Structure 1
């Protein structure tokens, strides 16, 4: 009979170098005790409770008739092979390889999930943050140039109302808003109620939103809000966050030119970019300051927001502006609170009123 070697650990914790004999029913463990007397311990294979295979030393566990645990520490590869071959029917050995592989796959799965979590974190948070950091590093000249390219790439899909475009640019010039950029306004024909600012100074106003306005102060508020997005570089920062994942790939293989190409190729996304609550509040507050500085009645901002909030119940088309410029009660409340802190202003520029009314002639 073939014999094997292992270290036997009895229930009391003593251990002995042992010779092992294997059959399908029993495992005989022969060793010399402290008195140099030969001892045989017989394990019934049905009472084996577990087997842990490791790269250096494996372990076989057994529960004796007193409910105590005995163990064999095994380094003999031939013994391991014999156990797996002879006791392949046993629950502890029948799928040892499967359990080992299962353990490996479990560890690999955990590692894969960790890596996936890291990549997801990079994709959702770090890369957008990186995109905004890139935007902050852009010079004003680069931003204006990129904005012009975006405008040219996008405007061809619209029908421009040349007459109202000229009137709104005259209206804006009369407002004398100074946001640090050369602002140019374009009016396009559309059933959607929308307006959006582009990096560098272009503002696109949809005809439907003009049709809903009743006073020049509302238009002054709209242009103050949108030009604030331009002056505070919200448009640039927002589109860089939104397109940062594509730009990240461009950054890996190129430079500012590659990034600009990605932005220009996605110029149409500007009309549906959503601003964060903090950016909208910042644009509202700055718009009020522009109005106050140029003697425009600040209630125009409140009227604008109330008009847009009312229009939000008019279906998908009229709600377009609301989807990208969310109006909430606390936002209107903030505007009213800011107005209370500022001196009352009455619009005294009759020319603004004349220009405004010419829009509808």
Structure 2
């Protein structure tokens, strides 16, 4: 490369530029030049800040005062760039600046895309994991808050509620919380579980059932949601934008405050496919461990899916019954070993609920 070039020097004290003959000693990686006042300067390559502005290379040295050299020799600039790159004297930032506008735009799009993916996938995932910051006892508070805020649920059928609780007590549900069942008199085909162990069942879905095995399947599925805190996890995912900062800071009180303000949305939560499959599998195990035929679970889901072809029931909006889920349950019925027998007590209680 060229070892000598003409540059313009600003000493940082006077505003008057000085034309200097600049020598570059490649072996020592040093710039040496002498001003018109016979003052010699020696700048090590590693101590210089390089800024390219158009066809001009600006070399900045020192702090107090800041001294600047401007070079316009294109060939020298190109050779110096190759030398610096070859010998590791160009930092990542300068390399990035040298890539050009197209690379910059591509990099910017990548950054925006990465941020978008984080917002859609990573932040909700972090928010879901924030459930571990929330003590289990808060699930009870949130369930109570829901009932206080939702007087519109409908009329409670006290008789059927009593019988349904008796029905559930006959089952081994592997529940981690105390369960409380409430029957709402309504044609809505719906059932949902709250974090505190409360499970609300509408008469609409009970009336559609033909056998107690279907009711056991429904109960097993909803209890699984309670056991795995699915409603809390989904609520956290839905509110991930609000909860993200609180989670990063480990502010459990902030997380719980946001959840409490949105307790009224628990009824309309749409569980993820992963949570539904998890509830299906555990619900299946609950059914079979009680000696009940799991075909009732499959029958109920097939009936709900058939209803979906006419008008979407409330149950399907929060618990979408897909063909894949039904096939998976039918596969478990064929491949899993279980024994079932008629349960006259459950049958009798089921008939009382249907009355």
TM-score (structure 1 length as normaliser)? 0.66
RMSD: 3.3
Q: Deviations over 1:113-150 (max 9, x none)?
A: 45534432332222212112211343322333333333
Q: For residues 4-153 of structure 1, what are the structure 2 equivalents within 5 Å?
A: 52-54=54-56, 56=58, 113=109, 115-153=111-149
In the alignment, the residues of structure 2 paired with residue 347 and residue 58 of structure 1 have an alpha-carbon distance, to the nearest angstrom, of 95
What's the secondary structure of 1:175's corresponding residue? coil
Structure 1 counterpart of 2:341: 346
Partners of 2:193 and 2:200 within 8 A in 1: yes
Contact preservation (8 Å) 1:52, 1:59: no
How far is 1:251 from its partner?
4.6
Query: Aligned to 2:259, what secondary structure does the other structure show?
Result: helix
Correspondence for 1:248: 244
- Report deviation, 1:174: 2.3
**Do the aligned partners of residues 58 and 104 (structure 1) sit closer, same or farther apart at CA in structure 2, a change above 3 Å counting?**
farther
Q: CA deviation at 1:191?
A: 4.3
Equivalent residue in structure 1 for 2:157, among 138, 157, 162: 162
Q: Identify if the C-alpha distance between structure 1 residues 285 and 107 changes in structure 2 by more than 3 Å, giving closer, same or farther.
A: closer
Instruction: Determine the C-alpha separation between the residues in 2 that align with 1:138 and 1:253.
Output: 14
Number of the residue aligned with 2:256: 260
Bigger mean CA deviation after superposition, 118-127 or 350-359: 118-127
Q: Is there any run of 5+ residues in structure 1 with no aligned partner, and where?
A: 1-12, 19-50, 62-70, 74-102
SS at 2:170 equivalent: helix
CA distance in 1, matches of 2:252, 2:162: 34
| Partner deviation per Cα, 1:196-217 (whole Å, 9 max, x = no partner) | 2121312122332122111111
Q: Deviations over 1:136-170 (max 9, x none)?
A: 343322333333333433x3221132323233222
**What residue in structure 2 maps to residue 208 of structure 1?**
204
Q: Is the 8 A contact 1:145 1:200 kept in 2?
A: yes
Q: Deviations over 1:62-111 (max 9, x none)?
A: xxxxxxxxx797xxxxxxxxxxxxxxxxxxxxxxxxxxxxx999898667
User: Match for residue 274 of structure 2?
Assistant: 278
Contact 1:151-1:202 at 8 Å conserved across structures: no
**For the residues of structure 2 that align with 1:356 and 1:145, how far apart are their CA atoms?**
31
Of 287, 293, 296 in structure 1, the residue corresponding to residue 289 of structure 2 is 293
Q: 1:242 to 1:296 in 2, by over 3 A?
A: same
Q: Give the distance between the partners of 2:208 and 2:102, measured in 1 at CA.
A: 62
Question: Is 2:146–2:263's contact at 8 Å kept on the other side of the alignment?
Answer: yes
User: Hey, what's the Cα distance between the residues in 1 that align with 2:287 and 2:76?
Assistant: 87
Residues 345 and 115 of structure 1: is their aligned pair in 2 closer, same or farther, counting only changes over 3 Å? same
Q: How many equivalent pairs are there? A: 277
Runs of at least 5 residues in structure 2 that lack an aligned partner in the other structure: 7-52, 59-69, 78-98
Indicate how the Cα distance of structure 1 residues 72 and 299 shifts in structure 2: closer, same or farther if over 3 A, else same.
closer
Tell me the secondary structure at the aligned position of residue 196 of structure 1.
Answer: strand
- Go from structure 1 to structure 2 and tell me whether the alpha carbon gap of 1:189 and 1:220 turns closer, same or farther (over 3 Å shift): same
* Residue 315 of structure 1, CA deviation: 1.4
Equivalent residues of 1:217, 1:301 under 8 A apart: yes
- Following superposition, the deviation at residue 244 of structure 1 comes to 2.0
Measured at CA, do residues 228 and 59 of structure 1 come closer, stay the same or move farther in structure 2, by a change above 3 Å?
same
- TM-fit CA distance, 1:250: 4.5
SS state of the match for residue 325, structure 2? helix
- Once residues 277 and 186 of structure 1 are traced to their aligned partners in structure 2, the CA distance between those partners, rounded to angstroms, is 26
Maintained 8 Å contact 1:291/1:297: yes
Deviation per residue, 1:276-316 (Å, 9 max, x gap): 22322221121121112222222111111111111111213
Which structure has the larger Rg? 1
Instruction: Tell me, yes or no, if the aligned pair for 1:192 and 1:208 is still in contact at 8 Å.
Output: yes
Query: Which residue does 1:239 correspond to in 2?
Result: 235
Pick closer, same or farther for the CA change 1:232–1:347 going to 2, 3 Å.
farther
Distance 1:266 1:14, change over 3 A: closer
Residues 260, 138 of structure 1: alpha-carbon distance in 2 compared, 3 angstrom cutoff? closer
Is the 8 Å Cα contact of residues 133 and 250 (structure 2) preserved in structure 1? no
